[in-house]
Amino acid sequence: MTDIPNAGAIAIATVTGDPVVRVAATATVADVAQAIVHGEVGAVVVGVEERPTALVSERDVVAVIADGRDPATVPAAEVASTNLIWCDAETTIDEAAVRMMNHYIRHILVERSGVLIGIVSARDLLGVYGADAKSNPLP
């Protein structure tokens, strides 16, 4: 992903490459599942605001199915996380990773001037740290 030494020191905005996938506030969990698959992402925001207030992840979709509920009848807003954790685009990858660990989350929203510019997942960070370790092996 990167050959930059100490990749954790670079800005989190460098790994927000995928466009943010959104669903309408009226979406169902089935709509979310389709958006996740078609967008090839692990989470989507609910609503179209520049600064959304809800996020639904693939884990939320699985939980609905595991509970025996019909995803086509469950509103996405019912299962969405509303305690969203944000970071500024210039936050370092290391700082974002620590914030994610401290809040026990797998997705962090990245903003610039108060507007959502991307979502970074734990999987994205693993790619950065893995590439960094590969290009800078321990002695």
Whether residue 1 contacts residue 131, with contact meaning beta carbons closer than 8 Å, is answered with yes
Q: Mapping DSSP to helix (H, G, I), strand (E, B) and coil, where does residue 120 land?
A: strand
Residue 1 lies in a domain: no
pLDDT tens-place values along the chain, 139 residues long: 444 457 678 899 988 878 899 999 999 999 999 999 999 999 999 987 788 989 999 999 999 999 999 999 999 999 999 999 999 999 999 999 999 999 999 999 999 999 999 999 988 888 777 766 666 665 6
Residue 89 lies in a domain: yes
How many angstroms separate the CA atoms of 132 and 71, rounded?
39
Query: The pTM is what?
Result: 0.84
Residue 67 lies in a domain: yes
Domain housing 92: 7-135
CA 27 to chain centroid: 19
Residue 2 lies in a domain: no
- E strands, the chain, in order: 22-23, 43-46, 55-57, 86-88, 107-112, 115-121
First to last CA, the chain: 22
Query: How many domains does the chain fold into?
Result: 1
Residue 48 lies in a domain: yes
Q: Which CATH number do you get for residue 91? A: 3.10.580.10
Residue 80 lies in a domain: yes
